[in-house]
Structure 1
Amino acid sequence: MSAVFVAGAHTDVGKTHVACALLTAARAAGRSVAALKPVVSGFDRADWAQSDPGRLLAACGRPLTDDALDAVSPWRFVAPLAPPMAARREGRSLGLAEIAVWCRARLDGADLTIVEGVGGLMSPIADDATGLELMTALGLPVVLVGGSYLGAISHTLTALETARGRGLAVCAVVISQSSGSDVPDLAETIADVRRHSGWVPVIGAPRDAEAGGWSATLLAGL
């Protein structure tokens, strides 16, 4: 275990929640950790403690300083849009090659380094690439995060097959419980995803449970 890519089957399914739980579990096991969220949009420079980079830094046990922020997320944009759209509104551009080179240079400094993508697997992350292209360029094992909302099974299994089709090693699927009283049953969703996922472990992340149990299980399988 040295580095993994945490990708989403959809947007807002809990990628950062899963990444932070993994980092916390690794630290509890006495391992050094690092996190990279190279690109982030919807970023409020005046209040970023609860942003994705802020939460990742906290999970790593690092102070929320400007230098630490730059080391985790160098490409930050204000508009809550796909990063290339947000970048264009600021007169900036994003290229896959630059992002990939930046990530590769930072993968070997800790026992566990987590690279977190943006949105869903096929969300644009650069002018010339989706998140899938960055994942392929880095070639890291993948932790795929899906939700339990209606339609999540299809999104998760489609993302799983898409990643496999690019030759990426998906080491686990995490079903992060979606909010709302009308979402399908979490246990049933996990069972249905597991039924169609082949050999890939499928782990549930309930909202009302301590993350320590499932994150330790996830960590042990990496």
Structure 2
Amino acid sequence: MAGSFFVTGTDTGIGKTFVSCLLLHAFAAQNKTVVGMKPIAAGQENGKWLDVELLRAASNINVPCEWMNPYALHAPIAPHIAARQEGVEIDLTRIYNVFHELKKSVECVVVEGVGGFLVPVNERQDTSDLAKLLALPVILVVGMRLGCISHALLTQQIIQHTGLRLVGWVANCIDPGALVLDDNIAALRQRLDCPLLGVVPFVSEPDVQTLSQFIDVSKIL
């Protein structure tokens, strides 16, 4: 059994959904049944939440939409603010219960967080509280751009502080003009206390099934 994982990132907009889709395809290539879960999605376009749609397309079984995405918020802003504007209270217990329903159906659930690891989800809790409640090993997506080294190391510290296991990281090359990319990756490989699962190159029109070959999930199976 592949197990399940919590995917977080060094910031918002650095490719958590994209890498989560790559992971789903990589696990599926190992003949695993897989599904993506986006517990909290903030920001919709034309009545659809793109992150959820991409995770659904990368999954190889169908599950109810409310299981993949218990909380769908309209505004593309911090989830606790979006929820407050809509009169919604994000209840982590609900997410926990839905996650365990998903686990009954598949071998691997890839749970994508919202924003960075400490983004508030309600007035009392943040994304780290969700990760702790689910008690999943964590995969860190590092958007390779200026400032990413400090962001990655700070995120590692807080993940370890919560008592969760950081089991791997992915270098997602989001900036085609990034300077000293190889040096930055080398610095992170030296300093992050987990294996590098893959370096995903920048592609203007990415194909997730093809790019999933850059992810080595054998290191976390």
Tell whether 2:71 aligns with 1:75. yes
Aligned to 2:29: 28
User: What is the alpha-carbon distance in structure 2 between the residues aligned to residue 25 and residue 96 of structure 1?
Assistant: 28
Displacement after TM superposition at 1:211 (Å): 1.6
* Distance of aligned partners of 1:221 and 1:30 in 2 relative to their CA distance in 1, 3 Å threshold: same
Aligned to 2:184: 189
Kindly report which structure 2 residues correspond to 1:7-18, keeping only aligned pairs within 5 A, or say none.
7-18=8-19
Tell me which of 139, 142, 148 is aligned to 1:146: 142
User: What is the alpha-carbon distance in structure 2 between the residues aligned to residue 165 and residue 71 of structure 1?
Assistant: 29
Output the aligned Cα RMSD. Answer: 1.9
Asked if 2 retains the 8 angstrom alpha-carbon contact of 1:125 and 1:131, the reply is yes
Asked if 1 retains the 8 angstrom alpha-carbon contact of 2:16 and 2:141, the reply is yes
Matched position secondary structure for 1:12: coil
- TM-score, normalised with respect to structure 1: 0.88
Displacement after TM superposition at 1:162 (Å): 0.9
Displacement after TM superposition at 1:213 (Å): 2.7
Displacement after TM superposition at 1:47 (Å): 4.1
Tell me which of 128, 131, 136 is aligned to 1:132: 128
Aligned to 1:201: 195
**How many aligned positions are there?**
213
Asked if 2 retains the 8 angstrom alpha-carbon contact of 1:96 and 1:127, the reply is no
Kindly report which structure 2 residues correspond to 1:1-222, keeping only aligned pairs within 5 A, or say none.
1-44=2-45, 46-48=47-49, 51-61=50-60, 68-181=64-177, 183-198=178-193, 200-202=194-196, 203-208=198-203, 210-215=210-215, 217=216, 219-222=217-220
Q: Deviations over 1:99-138 (max 9, x none)?
A: 2333233234212111110000111123321111111111
User: What is the alpha-carbon distance in structure 1 between the residues aligned to residue 64 and residue 180 of structure 2?
Assistant: 39
Alignment-mate amino acid for residue 86 of structure 2: E
Displacement after TM superposition at 1:170 (Å): 0.8
Tell me whether 123-132 or 34-43 shows the greater mean CA deviation: 123-132
* Distance of aligned partners of 1:170 and 1:108 in 2 relative to their CA distance in 1, 3 Å threshold: farther
* Distance of aligned partners of 1:157 and 1:144 in 2 relative to their CA distance in 1, 3 Å threshold: same
Asked if 1 retains the 8 angstrom alpha-carbon contact of 2:35 and 2:59, the reply is yes
> Which blocks of at least 5 consecutive residues in structure 2 are unaligned?
none
> Which blocks of at least 5 consecutive residues in structure 1 are unaligned?
none
* Distance of aligned partners of 1:108 and 1:142 in 2 relative to their CA distance in 1, 3 Å threshold: farther
Alignment-mate amino acid for residue 31 of structure 2: G
User: What is the alpha-carbon distance in structure 2 between the residues aligned to residue 101 and residue 47 of structure 1?
Assistant: 24
